[in-house]
Structures are given as C-alpha cells and as structure tokens.
Amino acid sequence: MNRPVLAANWKMNNGPTTAREFMQSFLDQYPRQNDRTILIFPPALSFSVVAAAIGERRDILLGVQDVHWEDQGAFTGQLSVPMARDAGARVVLVGHSERRHVFGETDDDVALKCAAVERGGLTPLLCVGERLDERDAGNASGVVVSQLRAGLSRMTQLATREVMVAYEPVWAIGTGRNATPEDASAMHSVIRNELASLCGDRARVTPILYGGSVNSGNARSLLGAPEVDGLLVGGASLDPGSWLAIVRG
Ligand code: 13P
C-alpha cells in the first residue's frame, strides 16, 4: 500500500474560533508521524487559522474544498488556485459529491477545475462516486469510470503530475452506511485500472481514498482493504477525539 493519506473534509463546519480550538487539541495529542500524511480541508474562512496552527509541521498538509477555474476576476464568492497556493494549500478537492449534487457542478466544470489546479501547481483530489439508484441499476463502475475520465480529461501532464482520487459513493456520505471494505476494494481496483490506461505507471502510486461514513469504528478495516490508500472523512473529522482515533489507528 502507498503511504496512507488521512484527510478531513470539514465542509461548512468549524469557523475560525472552533478551528483554532480543534487544532490546539489535535496537535497537542498528535506528535509528528512520518509514516502517514494528514490532510485537512477547512472552510476558507478558517484556512489561515489552521495554517498558523500547523506551522512548520510537514506531516500535515492543507487543502481547499473547491476552486474556480479562472485565476482571478469578477466571480463573487469564489476562490482561485493561485490564491489557494498563496495561502499555503497543497491540495484542492474537486468534484465533491455535494458540489455535484447540491450545487449542480457538471463533469465539464470538474474537468476545468482539475486543469486549473494542475496549471497552478497544486494537486487535485478528484472525488467520484455513484448514487444509490445507479448502484442498484448495476451501473456503479460505469458512473465512476465516466466521472474519472471526464474529470481528468483536460489535464495535460497526467503521466508526471501528482493526482489523488477519492471514491465517495453518494449513498454512503453522511448516512452512517459505509461501503464494505470489499465494495471499496473492488471499486478502487476499477479506478486504478482506469488510471493505468490514463496515466501509465503513475497509477500505481496514485493515492485512492475511500470516503463515506468513515468513523473510528470502521476506519481500520476500510484502510486495511486492498487498494485503499487513505480515507476522506467528513462528520467524524469534526470531533478531535474521533479524528485522533482515526489518524492514530
Ligand atoms: P461523511 O464522513 O460525513 O460521510 O462525509 C464524507 C465526505 O463527504 C468526505 O468528503
């Protein structure tokens, strides 16, 4: 397995005051570990607080939850890749299920964003995942492969640049119903095979994370499943105790 990546997506939670308290508590109890990478996606308003708390620690990376594909301009409410880089972000979540299904983001939007992230020298963490009706119809792999292909379609340096992928089945997000380790493994294999056809040897070292109702009770078995290189955690990353249990495990 690649070095595990344990990622916290705080979504629209943890404003600056809570984020500061969280980081104080987390960092006090989590000394540097070189055998795993911790990745935190705070909401934009809390980004600088979290960056200041992390300081020089290289085992903890920061990311933003979304970007616009343009570098600057009249796009009220949006963040750009150069801004994210300037603030200290290394990774950008692209195509998260909530962006797609709550805010109507299309595959082409996702592709434009991945290309912008590549152009700006950051790493995209491309999220893919099927809805329950698509799984029930036997089309889960088809949906995931098509989202993956579309999302990466505008990137030009796939063979050499770092990309991360998260498999987050929509039916598992925030529902308390996680995919089984076997289901996750099977879909991660599909993703890795597809990546091999898109970016060659790099596919072997591309981190593929699982997300969807991960908690301190199921994290270990999901992370132990073949082809699962990391976890992308929503709800259970908001409490320093459960997050600590996940990253220590
Ligand atoms: P939950 O862990 O709350 O199910 O959220 C998963 C997710 O969407 C992470 O990006």
Token output for 183: 């289901």
The pLDDT of residue 2: 75
Task: Based on the residue annotation, tell me whether 168 is a catalytic residue of this protein.
Answer: yes
Atom of ligand 1 lying closest to residue 237 CA: 2
The pLDDT of residue 1: 62
Ligand 1 and 247: CB distance under 6 A: no
Token output for 240: 């320093």
Residues pairing with 209 in the sheet: 166, 230
Q: What does the pLDDT profile of the chain (249 residues) look like in tens digits? A: 679 999 999 999 999 999 999 999 999 999 999 999 999 999 999 999 999 999 999 899 999 999 999 999 999 999 999 999 999 999 999 999 999 999 999 999 999 999 999 999 999 999 999 999 999 999 999 999 999 999 999 999 999 999 999 999 999 999 999 999 999 999 999 999 999 999 999 999 999 999 999 999 999 999 999 999 999 999 999 999 999 999 998
Of all residues in the chain, what percent are helix, strand and coil, respectively (each to 5)? Answer: 45, 15, 40
Ligand 1 and 173: CB distance under 6 A: yes
Predicted structure pTM score: 0.97
Ligand 1 and 234: CB distance under 6 A: yes
CA nearest neighbour of 238 among 5, 42, 36:
42
Query: In terms of DSSP H, where are the helices of the chain?
Result: 16-29, 47-54, 81-87, 97-101, 107-119, 132-136, 140-152, 181-199, 202-205, 219-223, 240-248
Ligand 1 and 63: CB distance under 6 A: no
What three-state secondary structure class fits 4? Answer: coil
Task: Based on the residue annotation, tell me whether 68 is a catalytic residue of this protein.
Answer: no
- Residues 200, 9: Cα–Cα separation, whole Å: 29
Catalytic one among 96, 98, 105, 134?
96
Token output for 156: 């030009």
Task: Provide the sign of the torsion angle of the four alpha carbons 148, 65, 102, 211, taken in this order.
Answer: positive
Catalytic one among 168, 188, 194, 227?
168
